[in-house]
Structure 1
Amino acid sequence: MTPTWDSDEAPDAFRIGPGGWVRVVLRGAALIVLILVCLVVLMAVRLVEAPLFGLRRPVTPFITQFVCRNAFRILGMGYRTRGTLMKARGAVVANHSSWLDIFALNARKRVYFVSKAEVARWPGIGLLARATGTVFIERDRRQARAQTRLFEDRLKAGHKLLFFPEGTSTDGLRVLPFKTTLFAAFFSEELRDFMQVQAVSVVYRAPKGQSARFYGWWGDMAFAPHLLKTLAARRQGSVLLIYHPPVKVADFADRKAVAAHLESQVRRGHRAATARPE
């Protein structure tokens, strides 16, 4: 991740009242039970799945989808999608607004996130990331060839690799310029001919009466207060995922060209959805 995006405006104040704390406890407890129980099931299934199928995961991604879809039911958030999922082998890119993006993007499509290597060492989150097949990469040019081979192995196993080209999350009201570094791997001789990439616009609508930036997570905002605010909301908003037509990497001259095209798709979808009334 790059240094976090920040805003000239401070995050909106949010006070949690007695009723909010009740919702925090009830929703939080339900989420913990859902995640822990399904994590145990996933790891047990993986013990059988790994020796039989290797990198391929024909069963465990459905467990991840189950968790993520039901997380929105527990929160009371609306969840909608538009567009057709890419069937070809390849990658998925999306704009990044919040930690909720991980649940939203996993809920509809079986994907594997590409993340910085440090995440694997984070308490709790690192375990979840490893269990769900996250691809960890080093921010070191000397590792570029090894990372390309890793991408090749995962893509040939049928995995859809997902990353956030903005490099950081925002307040949900904008799309930042796409960084092109990771796109370079897709132009290797091993990947270019079969690679496709699908762009997704992730659009949040805030709860009624709250700031449009309600679900955004940016700057130096700590995770715990943002999680508590989300759990405590009496009225929840919704998230919309717009899946754009996938493109073939081979149709573009270089990483900058394909990144610019995908960024344009995401921007148009995000702009149109945020401008349209609920």
Structure 2
Amino acid sequence: MNASWTGGAPPEDPPFGPLGWLRVLWRGAALAGVTFAGLAVLLLLRLIERPLFGLHRPVTPFITQFVCRTAFVILGMRYQVRGTPMAERGAVVANHSSWLDIFTLNARKRIYFVSKSEVAGWPVIGWLARATGTVFINRDTREARHQKEVFEARLKAGHKLLFFPEGTSTDGMQVLPFKSTLFAAFFSDALRGFLHVQPVTVIYRAPAGQDPRFYGWWGDMEFGPHLLKVLAARRQGSAEVVYHPPLRVADFESRKALARGCEEAVRGGLPMR
């Protein structure tokens, strides 16, 4: 939601020959097939689900989870989880380092991303985001009241809204200071009494012999080349999700204090380098 983090220069993409291109073809085809087949089923079920349950989605999030879990099987990436996703109503905040976060965070827990409004217009990604219930926010202050009402309605419905408080993606080796703006929505009189926020750390480990930032996607890096690099890798690394104990909003005096508490938990989950 803010200017991209530039950080250091990205690692050079490892070269890949004919076998690498074969992996790109079959993994890419399998991933696209599973994703769009899942999208088609999801959209059909929403025709029934929406009029019966409104904001509640008792069935379709399981399709999203299935697609995301299958993506790791297709890629050949190990997927690990530590900790327990919270049962309480509330939101989730996590560090952000790659487009892979979409699969990584959806694979274990039913969540709904909060994203900048521009994403809604992106080809393919925008369609998928809208279909899976993403909440789009506009930085126009004139829409602040409406967006607050949308947050409250979704949270009251039991949706776990996921924010990336860093406001940008990084190389995955660090956690940037959390911006507290979006935490303000949690302190409304209608939400503060029951709401919890669960900090989550996402950790990517590069394939053996590759730059530790292999899965990071930041700054001016283009999506296409990064996707090809991941698809072509002969050996894959792993993704790990660490669920920290949820924080009760009412225990914090301000949005800034809550943001600091979440930031400390997420940063503490990164391995020592």
In which range does the TM-score fall when normalised by the shorter chain? over 0.9
Tell me if 1:19 matches 2:10. Answer: no
* Within-5 A mapping of 1:91-240: 91-240=91-240
Displacement after TM superposition at 1:91 (Å): 0.2
Q: Distance in 1 between matches of 2:34 and 2:8?
A: 38
**Secondary structure at 2:107 match in 1:** helix
> How many residues get paired?
273
Q: Distance in 2 between matches of 1:205 and 1:274?
A: 12
Counterpart residue type for residue 72 of structure 1: F
Could you tell me whether the CA contact under 8 Å between 2:112 and 2:160 is conserved in 1?
yes
**Secondary structure at 1:207 match in 2:** coil
Distance 1:182 1:139, change over 3 A: same
Could you tell me whether the CA contact under 8 Å between 2:95 and 2:266 is conserved in 1?
yes
Q: Deviations over 1:121-172 (max 9, x none)?
A: 1111111001000001111222222111101110111100001000111111
Aligned-pair identity in percent equals 67
Displacement after TM superposition at 1:11 (Å): 2.7
**Secondary structure at 1:108 match in 2:** coil
Q: Distance in 1 between matches of 2:117 and 2:8?
A: 30
Displacement after TM superposition at 1:274 (Å): 4.6
**Secondary structure at 1:120 match in 2:** helix
Tell me if 1:77 matches 2:77. Answer: yes
Partner of 1:266: 266
Counterpart residue type for residue 230 of structure 2: T
Displacement after TM superposition at 1:14 (Å): 2.0
Partner of 1:90: 90
Q: Which runs of 5+ in 2 are unaligned?
A: none
Could you tell me whether the CA contact under 8 Å between 1:206 and 1:236 is conserved in 2?
yes
Partner of 1:59: 59
Q: Deviations over 1:180-212 (max 9, x none)?
A: 110011111111111100000000100001000
Q: Distance in 1 between matches of 2:205 and 2:64?
A: 24
Partner of 1:47: 47
Distance 1:10 1:84, change over 3 A: closer
The farther-off stretch of 69-78 and 143-152 is 143-152
Q: Distance in 1 between matches of 2:13 and 2:249?
A: 44
Q: Distance in 1 between matches of 2:5 and 2:54?
A: 38
Q: Distance in 1 between matches of 2:153 and 2:50?
A: 15
Counterpart residue type for residue 13 of structure 1: D
**Secondary structure at 1:182 match in 2:** helix
Q: Distance in 1 between matches of 2:91 and 2:218?
A: 25
- Output the TM-score relative to the length of structure 1: 0.96
Q: Distance in 1 between matches of 2:172 and 2:114?
A: 21
After TM superposition, what 4+ stretches of structure 1 lie above 6 angstroms from structure 2?
none
Taking only aligned residues, the RMSD between alpha carbons, in angstroms, comes to 0.9
Q: Deviations over 1:88-114 (max 9, x none)?
A: 110000000100011000000000000
Could you tell me whether the CA contact under 8 Å between 1:196 and 1:248 is conserved in 2?
yes
Counterpart residue type for residue 13 of structure 2: A
Could you tell me whether the CA contact under 8 Å between 1:203 and 1:274 is conserved in 2?
no
Q: Which runs of 5+ in 1 are unaligned?
A: none
Q: Distance in 2 between matches of 1:193 and 1:109?
A: 23
